[in-house]
Amino acid sequence: MTQGREGNAARWIDLEGVVNMRDVGGLPTRDGGRTAYGRLIRSDNLQDLTDASVTRLVGELGVTDIVDLRSETEMHLTGPGPLREIESLTHHHHSLVETRPTDDVAATMASALVVHPAAPGTRDADYWTAHYRTYLDRRGPAIADALAVIAGARGAAVVHCAAGKDRTGTVVALALDVAGVPHDVIADDYALTALRLPAIIERLMAHDFYGDTLATQRPSDQIPHAETMLAILADLGERHGGTRAWLRSRGWSGGDVEQLRTRLVD
């Protein structure tokens, strides 16, 4: 099951300062419903938003909560950003990057942008699946906390990392799974980022701390494949009984899970 071109086009949010922002509303659920617009927005880094973009994000789009999945190093190097000045916004930091006290900037950027020892051309769907599995195994509390923010947001919640692909893709996929979106539709949404990949890379390359890291890779190694997300969701089912059961193992009650589901559907 895939979304038509028209449906996907309506979900992209084009703001000056970001290149990979879209609403996850309008997706079908297994019970015949749809995910709601204006509840969950996924994005790349928000540091470069213009004043006009900030006004639209908060006013027209009704954003109240920002979930930042980046490392503390990334946040420090990019600065606070324009959204920190908006009093109506609540900021939440739940990093999916596991860092150690001995890590330098290069090591942190390599983890953030998923640069590990692998020959060019070997970063296929299986490679990314293995990497995303480490998010679940090592940063489970951060993922659960990010999902809790989405469930309790007063308005729209924006979840973002640097590119809006790997860390953001994982958190959003789990949210959509709880909402009852079929796995193939979730995987298609994840893979949509490929349409914006050239712009994402160009934007990140403008920053030395990302550019130096990306210079060691081929752009094709960063392409998101639907198979990757299908495998992650299947892995959750096989090892944990699915996303809802995984959240229950993290201390969520049945009511907590239902709150997230109802928050995301019409």
> What are the residues whose beta carbons fall under 8 Å from the beta carbon of 238, sequence distance 6 or more?
none
Q: Would residue 265 count as lying in a domain?
A: no
Residue 107 pLDDT more than 80? no
Token pair 């990093």: residue: 95
**Crossing angle (nearest 10°) for helices 226-240 and 125-138:** 40
Structure tokens at 37: 């617009």
Domain containing 150: what range?
5-259
For residue 177, tell me if it sits in a domain. Answer: yes
The CA distance from 67 to 161, in Å, is: 9
Rounded Cα distance, 183 and 126, in Å: 17
Query: For the CA atoms of the chain, what is the radius of gyration?
Result: 17
| Residue 146 falls inside a structural domain | yes
20-29, 162-171, 201-210: least confident range: 201-210
Segment 38-62, tens digit of pLDDT: 999 999 999 999 999 999 999 999 9
Short-list 153, 117, 123, CA closest to 259: 153
Task: Determine whether 252 is exposed, middle or buried from the number of CB atoms within 10 Å of its CB (0-12, 13-18, 19+).
Answer: buried
Q: Distances from the Cα of 19 to the Cαs of 14, 42, 163, 164, in angstroms?
A: 7, 11, 9, 9
| Between 220 and 112, residue with greater pLDDT | 220
The token pair at 143 is: 């993922």
Any domain includes 66:
yes
H or E segment and range at residue 254: helix 254-264
Q: Is residue 264 part of a domain?
A: no
Assign 134 a pLDDT band (cuts: 50, 70, 90).
Answer: very high
Instruction: Count the domains in the chain.
Output: 1
Helix (H) or strand (E) holding 157: strand 156-160
| DSSP letters spanning 23-54 | E-TT-B-TTS-BBPTTSEEEES--TT--HHHH
Alpha-carbon distance of 262 to 266, in angstroms, equals: 8
- For the ranges 142-156, 170-184, 211-225, 249-263, the lowest mean pLDDT is seen at 211-225
Q: Residue 201: give its domain's CATH number.
A: 3.90.190.10
Number of H helices and E strands in the chain, helices first, is 13, 5
Question: What is the C-alpha to C-alpha distance for residues 28 and 234, in angstroms, rounded to an integer?
Answer: 19
SS3 (DSSP) at 11:
helix
Task: Quote the pTM value.
Answer: 0.90
Please report whether residue 133 resides in a domain: yes
* Rounded-to-integer distance, Cα 91 and Cα 84, Å: 8
pLDDT value of position 121: 52
Neighbours of 138 (CB within 10 A): 12
In a domain, 266, yes or no: no
